[in-house]
């Protein structure tokens, strides 16, 4: 079983949330230091994470059970919606505009497009024996 348990949905969600938190802290440090290249690199990674939280959780977690994969996708989508609005709010110079509410369509489209492919995502990094 160990620390990285593939038999429950929380593993991938926890890893993706940890990477997002680390990237968030790094983007603040890089911006404060004026390291534009590293800041942009981390900002791109943050954009990928916030728009595809659920699929990344399944990809990294590699859950074996279909229920666990679906649960990871659902929780990932719930986390992706506010994170996406927050990301685009930051891109918009930290000011609110009405179009920001429509940005939730991005993770909805990403998750919907990969929803029925969760077993494929889970098997990309974890080849099953037998």
Domains of the chain: which residue ranges?
A: 10-123
pTM of the model: 0.86
State pLDDT tens for residues 80-127.
Answer: 999 999 999 999 989 998 998 999 999 999 999 988 887 888 887 776
CB neighbours (10 Å) of residue 88? Answer: 20
DSSP H helical ranges for 1-130: 10-33, 36-51, 53-61, 66-91, 105-114, 118-123
Round to whole Å and give the CA distance between 96 and 89: 6
Q: Are 80 and 52 in contact (CB under 8 A)?
A: yes
Round to whole Å and give the CA distance between 46 and 87: 8
State pLDDT tens for residues 8-19.
Answer: 778 889 999 999
């Amino acid at each position: 079983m160990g620390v990285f348990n593939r038999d429950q949905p929380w593993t991938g969600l926890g890893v993706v949330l940890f990477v997002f938190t680390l990237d968030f802290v790094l983007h603040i440090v890089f911006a404060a230091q004026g390291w534009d290249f590293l800041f942009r690199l981390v900002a791109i990674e943050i954009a990928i994470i916030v728009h595809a939280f659920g699929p990344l959780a399944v990809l990294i977690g590699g859950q074996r059970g279909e229920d666990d994969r679906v649960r990871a996708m659902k929780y990932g989508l719930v986390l992706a919606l506010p994170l996406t609005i927050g990301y685009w709010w930051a891109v918009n110079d930290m000011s609110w505009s009405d179009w920001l509410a429509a940005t939730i369509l991005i993770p909805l489209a990403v998750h919907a497009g990969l929803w029925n492919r969760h077993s494929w995502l889970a098997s990309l990094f974890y080849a099953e024996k037998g």
